Homo-oligomer: A and B are copies of this chain.
Amino acid sequence: MVIILKNDPNENQLNNLLCLLEKKGISVQKTVGVSKTILGLVGDTGAIDIDALRALDIVEDVKRIQEPFRLANRKLHPDDTIIKVGNAAIGDGSLTLIAGPCAIESEEQICMIAKSVKASGAALLRGGAFKPRTSPYSFQGLQEEGIRLLIKAREVSGLPIVTEITDAEQLPLFEDVDIIQVGARNMQNYELLKRLGKIDKPILLKRGLSATYDELIMSAEYIMSGGNGKVILCERGIRTFESYTRNTLDIAAIPVLKKRTHLPVIADPSHATGKADLVAPVSAAAAAAGADGLIIEVHNDPPRALSDGAQSIRCEEFEELSRQLKTLVKCIR
């Protein structure tokens, strides 16, 4: 940590600061420049409140040198985390496909799609039971019944299941779910993250609409610091000024997160683009950039989808895409 002092700092206040730092076991090296004096801090600066330092009269700015995350940090844990669910191993170098409808609508629908995407190469089934919708007047998902139907679909297809939680109170209903998803809007719902840190189940954590890489990793750190190290990061598009696509998929997030953390990183081309015809090229891009998996919305009959229909691809389109991705991965990995 580096503290940049204001010009002509009050001597008393400077001494107080130096004492304070010394008491915390931090040693300080002072560099007097032409127009600025800086203090280099050596020791466990993780416990220092950067904002409290900034608030001091004599301090102009404080810059952190070390990354604020530990458990997720690749530098401290060089080996890839591999998450095994059913036959799938997310993070082992392969490309894991997670597919299914945005919202679970009926037993017939979810089972049909499950069997279809299984046949096409998906390793996990996704489907929304609790749907966080912008409007209170929109369909909110089949909820408990939705999870029941999803479990049914797992039985008929053999695919492990992924579904989104929107409140810690729902946790008992997720007992039999294989991977619990935390959506973009809940990425900084810290109470929920703390609760998920106490269970032993993989968590698929989606990046918030305007979350930085650091914030996403710190949210993973919330889960991990509770004891649950099985976190999968998901780039699902960020909010920018461009409104032609629903969000802007930040393709560099994939190699950056892979480099800075040891966690698996997947991408969600469906929510990132909001347009069915962009799912295939953006999926290929994410795979080429090194993604460990893709989570793709697939519907048997898009026009009747109850939610997010415009971004779902048909079962036949998923089959075709899955084949293309297999070719791509075989060729470059």
- Residues of A that sit less than 8 Å from B by CB: 2, 4, 29, 31-36, 38, 40-44, 46-47, 49, 51-52, 54-57, 61, 63, 65-66, 68, 132-139, 166-169, 185-186, 188-192, 194, 209-210, 212-215, 218, 221-222, 225-226, 238-245, 248-252, 254-256, 259, 272-273, 276-278, 281-282, 284-290, 302-312, 324, 327-328, 331-332
CB-CB under 8 A from A288, the residues of chain B are 281, 284-285, 287-288, 328
Is B166 within 8 A of A307, CB to CB? no
CB-CB under 8 A from A285, the residues of chain B are 251, 254, 285-286, 288-289
Q: Which of B242, B284, B290 contacts A289 (CB 8 A)?
A: B284
Q: Which of B56, B218, B238, B307 contacts A303 (CB 8 A)?
A: B56
A64 CB → nearest B CB, Å: 10
Q: What are 30 of the A-B contact pairs (CB < 8 Å)?
A: A2-B63, A49-B309, A51-B310, A52-B306, A55-B312, A61-B65, A63-B63, A136-B190, A136-B218, A137-B225, A169-B191, A185-B189, A210-B210, A210-B241, A212-B241, A212-B242, A212-B243, A241-B241, A248-B250, A249-B252, A251-B251, A251-B282, A254-B281, A254-B285, A255-B278, A259-B277, A281-B288, A281-B289, A328-B331, A331-B332
For the complex, what is the distance from the CA of A238 to the CA of B44, rounded to whole Å? 33
Q: Number of copies of this chain in the oligomer?
A: 4
Beyond A29-B31, A252-B278, 11 additional contacts (C-beta under 8 Å) are A29-B40, A47-B137, A52-B306, A134-B215, A136-B221, A169-B169, A169-B191, A238-B240, A255-B282, A256-B278, A259-B277
For the complex, what is the distance from the CA of A169 to the CA of B244, rounded to whole Å? 36
Is B254 within 8 A of A239, CB to CB? no
For the complex, what is the distance from the CA of A34 to the CA of B61, rounded to whole Å? 22
A328 CB → nearest B CB, Å: 6
For the complex, what is the distance from the CA of A284 to the CA of B251, rounded to whole Å? 11
A280 CB → nearest B CB, Å: 8
